[in-house]
Amino acid sequence: MTTILKNKRDMYNKYDYDLNIPNDMLNNKLFCTFTDKEGMDSLVESLVSRYKILYDKLFILEILDKDEFVVTYNVDQGNIDNIPENTILVHRKKDTNTLYTINALNELIKKLNGGYLDKTYKINWYDYKNCILLTQHNELSQLNTKIYKIIHID
């Protein structure tokens, strides 16, 4: 099912962004910026010209069953003056290519553990392979992804 958006920015308003990320949390962090296909090239160009991208790679993931993409990239605190629009700070489980926010992790634990948040709870990350876990209106949301493109910066 395809949804026609009146305004391209509408697609991003449904995710819970934490715009008050303390600067000390920005040191070598993984950012995830949402875009559509039409805005992808200009976003990549803007990111590459604006920041020193660590590891010289940007990963573009397609969100399955949606007309959305995310660009993921690492930056260090030294070259961040502000966070781009439609961007969230995420963490990654490398083995399963799972991206997640801390809020989503907490919601997942509560969902799996009878409503109780136990930070020692062991998650089977293979159940969440190739996805982004985030919150929408304070509820857990799982966006299934696949790699669309890897951009190597020269």
pTM of the model: 0.80
Q: Decide if pLDDT at 9 tops 50.
A: no
Residue entry with tokens 């399955």: 64
Q: Decide if pLDDT at 92 tops 90.
A: yes
For the four alpha carbons of 96, 98, 139 and 66, in that order, the dihedral sign comes to negative
Range list of β-strands (E), the chain = 29-35, 54-63, 68-75, 87-93, 98-100, 131-136, 139-152
Q: What angle do CA 91, 97, 57 make, to 5 degrees?
A: 75
Q: Decide if pLDDT at 113 tops 60.
A: yes
Q: Decide if pLDDT at 17 tops 70.
A: no
Q: What mean pLDDT do residues 134-147 have?
A: 94
